[in-house]
Amino acid sequence: MERLHWVQHRCRQLLAGDSGRGWYSASDGLPNKSFLDCHSSPQRCGGKRRMVLACHGPHQQEYQAISKDYKSNAIHTTKYSLLTFIPMNLFQQFYRAANLYFLFLALLNWVPVVEAFQKEITMIPLLVVLTVIAIKDALEDYRRYLFDKKVNNNVVQVYCGKQKAYIEQCWKDVRVGDFVRLSCNEIIPADMLLLYSSDPHGVCYIETANLDGETNLKQRQVVSDLPLQGVEVTPESFHSRIECENPNNDLSRFRGYMEHSSGVRVGLHNSNLLLRSCTIRNTETVVGIVVYAGHETKAMMNNSGPRYKRSQLEKRLNADVLWCVLLLIVMCLTAAIGHGLWMKQLKHPIFLVDGETSPALAGFYVFWTMIIVLQVLIPISLYVSIEIVKLGQIYFIHNDLALYNEQLDSRIQCRALNITEDLGQIQYLFSDKTGTLTENKMVFRRCNIYGIEYPHEENARRLEVYEAEKNEAAGHSVTLKSGCSGKSLSCRSLSCNRSSVSLHTLTAESEEEEDRLSNHIQPMTSAFCSRMAKEVVPDPELVRKLNWLCSPLLPMSGISSETPSSLELTYITDFFLALAICNSVVVSSPSQPRHVVPEARTPLKSLEEIKLIFQRFSFSPFSALSTLSPHQIRGSPRSFTSRLFARGKIGSFSTSPNSTAEGSEAGQHNLETSNPRCKPDVSARVEEGDTEKVVDDLKSSQTDPDVEDITRDVDTESYTDDELLYEAESPDEAALVYAARAYCCTLRARSVESLLVDLPGIGSLAVQLLHILPFDSTRKRMSVVVRHPLTGEVVVYTKGADSVIMDLAEAPKGAEQAQEIYSHIREQTQKHLDSYAREGLRTLCIAKKVMEEEEYELWLKRQLLAESSIENREELLLESAQRLETNLTLLGSTGIVDRLQEEVPETIEALQRADIKVWVLTGDKQETAINIAYACKLLRPNDQLLTANCGSKDACAAILEELKLEVQHAENGVTEQTAAGNREDSSSGCVSGFVLVIDGRTLDWALQEELKTDFLELSCRCKAVICCRSTPLQKSQVVRLIRDQLNVMTLAVGDGANDVSMIQVADVGIGISGQEGMQAVMSSDFAISRFKHLSKLLLVHGHWCYSRLANMILYFFYKNVMYVNLLFWYQFFCGFSGSVMTNSWVLIFFNLFFTSVPPLIYGVLDRDTPADTLMQLPELYQATQTSKVYVTFMFWITVLDAFYQSLVCFFMPYFAYAGSDIGELSFGFPINTSALLIILLHQVIESHTLTWIHALVLVLSGGFYFGFVLLFSVCCVTCSPPTNPVGVETLQMSQPLFYIVCVLTTVTALLPRLLFRALHGSLHTSAVRKAAQVDKVESEKYCRRMRRWNVSHSRANRLPVNADNPSLETSTGLVVS
């Protein structure tokens, strides 16, 4: 039938002409214009198609012709080879402007007229930098090479044409067109089209954790209409051609067709494609043909490499380097002009001077000579030092135990290595709600059915008990039940020899990262079947009503005004049936990987009898509301159940009068169901608190052999509820399935075409599954189409967001009383939904629709056309789903609790105290978001809530203007209070008093060009903003608006795929490895496991990283400018000739070796404030932002300080040795020594932390300097021509004047810095000083607490000690006192 509809559809397209013909419709056709318009990106789709043939099939010659252009399956993520390493690495390094600059200087020094030093010496700094970076790159590339080798040498079974069998080959030898056979737990080596599955329904399950981090199973389907369907395919029997789109990076899309030898074409879609790096699960054997291999696979094409962002500090650094270049040019121009004037005025030189060169030309030569001499002013080593310091900072962040999650065995990941300092400058934080602020561990809390609310108070108390247990167990790893500890990966009658190794084909990650991700899979899966989610305590009132269905023949005395009507029982049964089957949950158990519906185990005889009973009484409890008569609506439960169950045995009904009479006699006894866990009289057990076991104390007086056989069959095939594992795509689905199971509506098995469900009072039934319409963000709902097992009607069950379902639910046509009842149900449901939202519960609505056969047939035709269509398939499927999901009957709603993560309120409070504005961007209802905002202290009771909800652009403009006026009026009032002296009431300011709440529709208008200014102005005046019902696109638009318009540092944090866009747009993106896979983590700069880690990451590590790097960069500029100025001052005494007063080796090594290591230690280990103090006083983070350690003002202050110190360092030795006969090298040695001491001690003054490591590095730096110059002066005779350095330093160090000069110069140069620090600390009471005071107070408290502890423990230990040693009593008492 499906093929017929497809052929009709293709004929219409062909008859319509070329305009309607798709690009798959003819082998020589061109791509359809609409397709190219939608996918114009060259990476997403090429201009041609790909033809795939079986490599050992009947099309050998054609295969050889087309396959030569296809890539092999070997992957190469390395950048270099042995031959290309040196040229390619040098090319990449000289891509940096700084390296090119120093290469230019090295080459310039080879020009004789401007030569300043020996030619080899000027090459040393550049060679050292290039060598260090080359070694680092080589080690990284070698790691990639080992990883590639490991992946390429994995083995897989590939069909061999010569041996006519599957043989083991390495992954790298797999080619496009190869037939590959995989077993359970094997990793897919290439993108393959699924041709065969051992599953009888042609289904294969894969796990995509290695691709996107999601551990829930994805279902893939064998290509439909294969000629040899159900038989393992081999190349000899495969005569089809495959034509598909060119390789692209779209993981969710695959388009093409398979043309059989008969000429019939079958469309190919993403559900037929097995992606590389995914893992086969719960399937014994699959066979596929490779369509994309190696770097053409979708996984490899999504490998964008490591993330790179430029930090704000780096941008400022580049600007200051330009200032240094300008300063260098000014100094060189000064020297050039001075040398020209000096040459012009020189009449009778007493030394050799080139008199033939004109003064102007000589000045031009000196300009370039001075460029070489003063080259140190441009900090070439600064860039390398910054990279080393950031690696050190990341190491300490990565190994911080406070950022380690013991329960998940995961620690923080630093994926972007160059923006650590930006963590200390965040001004706006944008957070998702679900999974970020909350646990994303959904637990069923309460529900509403038929307009009646069931509070599940026992369930609420159970959650409180679990919360208390969780708090008691804080800090300890959680041991989950073995039944839920992970997926069942075993396959019966199957030996899975190959372990499921996590092979990261996206990036060449380290072994440590592989272990982390593989270890992370288990807790993620366990979260969906946690103890809290599984053990739902039923509501006693709801159980009492269900007992009317399970045990209908109760005494007449039980009937009262509170007894449920037959319509209400219908709603209740349909509600829980919808919870059980409206999902994509895979059922498994420890002993069986996947439960499928047994074909011959369904009690068909019983179902036929049930249907006959229904027809005889003309009553359908599962029909639409409009079909019920007033009499049926008013019917009592007794009449309903007596008609539903004609005999005392469930499942053995008879339509004869005799059997009916027998049933009435058997009615004196209660019923026995085929479900061993769903027994009558459940409510009594619940009220007594016994919810684990329900005992059937009502036995039937008659037995039926047929029913016993059926019951035995079902029981042998079923498992107890505790053994069932539900593998859900989301925690919402798992929570609802467990809730249905708590009411004995248990999902036991699933196959492609049917579901096995236990219904209360009926037993196990096979429900025919006709269609699944999966959830998508456009529809915001999911539906299943089934054929009801009791009525045979086609029923649509839908669950989704309340805002959507309530609009789709319409009042039935028919009896007036039915309409009144339905209106009442709708009104009460909406009331309860609002109540749930105010409690912070996640709400879902459940609805159904009964379709007539004609209506269903009409929809089915359009649905089959949409499914078989190649062009516009997604649009057609969406249209078909929307056509089906109309005129729904509202059944009820659910409230699912998603508790806050631990310490979220404290974290948000700390961030707000740090002057970080926190915005929440969520897709939840407004009431839910507001409730969560109150719970996490984003909203406080004294805050004023501003709500913006409107449906048009004009209304949006009006409401924004109104809210602005309201805020402005409040600001004026606060200003008047402040002027009057009432500062206590206005201390927090008006900004901290307003919180804006805006919904998605209004946000759409507010983000438009005409209104975004008003929205921006209003939001800036608010303490926080909550965006509800926002889409992923809106989230990214909001972040971009704030980042660009306000020019502030933004941070976005989220845990799901819908947060990826805003994470990538923000300056710093943080992903939380939660329950929704790893998409957010893979797109982030930093990955954490809990929201509370943000406080330590920002307030401590962010503060430290920014402070350390900023101070280190300023220190680098200081020491370079200070030392270069010494050479510049000397030019005034040597005719600006470019001469230097020290040997060139010391000059080059001074910044390269002697003073390079201390700044690295300073940048990695310095702590201006202890971590505990930063956590206790978040205001210190704000102080760092306002003071801005590294700004233009501080740069010029540092440069001026360097100028002053250089003047002192040069002229004090100059005046000390004035009139003496020392040489230039003897004059330069005390200057160099004083400069070294000043630079090293300057860092000691600026350091906030001094450890033995600092002391050791300072001593080694000074010792290295003196050791080098002494060795140089003793051994080197001709190392620095034309001067002779032998004995210069040894002679100087033997004279007392040398030491006096060095000490006086050092003290004089550093005295202003010391006085400034002392006065600043005394007069300016900074937040840091307050922090130090707090730290001192805390230390005193700690000491007092320890003294009390010692006293108490000494008293406690006194008796046992004195009992054995009486002589110790006096001494012990003395110690205690």
> Which 3 state secondary structure label does DSSP give 344?
helix
Q: Tell me if 266 sits within 8 A of 194, measured CB to CB.
A: no
Task: Kindly state the tokens that stand for 629.
Answer: 């008569």
Instruction: Name which of 1194, 1114, 1115, 1138 is nearest 331 in CA terms.
Output: 1138
Neighbour-count burial of 1248, counting CB atoms closer than 10 A to its CB (0-12 exposed, 13-18 middle, 19+ buried): middle
Interstrand relation of 203-207 and 279-281 (parallel, antiparallel or unpaired): antiparallel
Distance in angstroms (rounded) separating the CA atoms of residues 1268 and 1146: 9
Q: If you search the block for the tokens 């309120």, which residue do you land on?
A: 905
Contact predicate 445/460, CB 8 Å: yes
Q: Residue 941: how many CA atoms within 13 Å on its side-chain side?
A: 0
Contacts of 1167 (CB under 8 A, 6+ apart): 1104, 1248, 1249
Residue 755 β-bridge partners: 750, 767
Q: CA triplet 35, 40, 42: central angle to 5 degrees?
A: 125
Beta-carbon neighbour count of residue 468 at 10 Å? 10
Enclosing H/E stretch for 1236: helix 1224-1246
Structure tokens at 471: 């708090």
Q: Considering 212, 320, 432, 1166, which one is annotated as catalytic? A: 432
Strand order in the sheet with 285-292: 165-170, 155-160, 179-183, 285-292, 191-197, 273-274
DSSP for 995-1007?
Answer: EEEE-HHHHHHHT
- For the record, the structure tokens of 990 come out as 């008006």
The 8-class DSSP code of residue 486 comes to: S
At 912, is the secondary structure helix, strand, or coil?
Answer: helix
What six digits make up the tokens of 1030? 């926002």
Q: Rounded CA gap, 1137 and 115, in Å?
A: 11
- Residue 1172 annotated to the active site: no
Residues shown for the chain? 1377
Q: How far apart are CA 601 and CA 188, in angstroms?
A: 35
**What is the per-residue DSSP string for 153-212?**
T-EEEEEETTTTEEEEEEGGG--TT-EEEEETTPBP-SEEEEEEESSTT-EEEEE-HHHH
Q: Report H helices in 920-1026.
A: 926-935, 953-979, 1000-1006, 1012-1020
Look up residue 1098 and give its DSSP letter: I
Q: What is the largest CA-CA distance in the chain?
A: 144
Phi/psi region, residue 1120 (left: phi>0; alpha: psi -120 to 50; beta: rest), is alpha
Q: How far apart are CA 753 and CA 616, in angstroms?
A: 29
Comparing CA positions, the residue from 1271, 1270, 1310 lying closest to residue 1292 is 1270
C-alpha–C-alpha distance, residues 289 and 277, integer Å = 16
Scored b (16 or more CB within 10 A) or e, 115-147 reads bbbbeebbbbbbebbbeebbeebeeebebbbeb
What the block records as the tokens of 445 is 């809390």
Task: Determine how β-strand 1024-1027 pairs with β-strand 994-998.
Answer: parallel
235: phi then psi, degrees, rounded to nearest 5: -60, -35
Kindly report whether the peptide bond that precedes residue 1282 is cis, defined as omega within 30 degrees of 0.
yes
Helix ranges, 590-629 (H): 604-616
Q: Write out the catalytic residue numbers.
A: 432
